[in-house]
Structure 1
Amino acid sequence: MSIAMDPRLREILVCPCPRNAPLRDGLPTDPDAEYLTCESCGRSFPVRDGIPVLLLQEAIGGSEADTPSEGPGKG
C-alpha cells in the first residue's frame, strides 16, 4: 500500500537531513505504515492526513550524526 499524497509533491520530497536523500514509503519494520523513511540516514517521518511532517524533531530512528548543528543565535 502506498501513502496517498499528490504525486507532484511526492516527486520533490527529500529528507531534511544534510544529505537530502530520497524518501521511501513506510517504516523499515512496517512497509505499510503512514511514514516516509530516508534512504540515507534512516529517519522516519510521519504522514498525517496525507501531509508529510518533515521536521527532524518529529522523526523516529535515524542517525544523530546527520542532525544539523544549531547555528549562531539559535538554541
Structure 2
Amino acid sequence: MKNELILLPSVTYAMKAKSILEQYQIRSYIQRTPKNVNIKSCGYCLFVPNRTDEAEKLLRQKGVRVLGRAEREKP
C-alpha cells in the first residue's frame, strides 16, 4: 500500500475527519505524522489502511482541508 496517511492542518481537523469517515464505515486512526514527512502541519495525521483514495475524496467534498498524503513508516 502507498500513501495511506492523510495529512491534515490540525488535530481538530484530524478528529473531524475521523468522525466523517466513521459515518461511511471507513476505518481510520489518528497518529503522529512521521518525522520523514516534510510538510508543515500540526504533527497529526490519519492512517487509513483501506479505501484511502475514497477517504481523501470524501473529506475534500465535506470541506476538510487536506494537506497531502504520505506513506506510513513500517515498524
TM-score by length of 2: 0.28
Bigger radius of gyration, 1 or 2? Answer: 1
- Higher share of residues assigned helix: 2
Higher relative contact order, structure no. (Cα contacts within 8 Å, ≥ 6 residues apart): 2
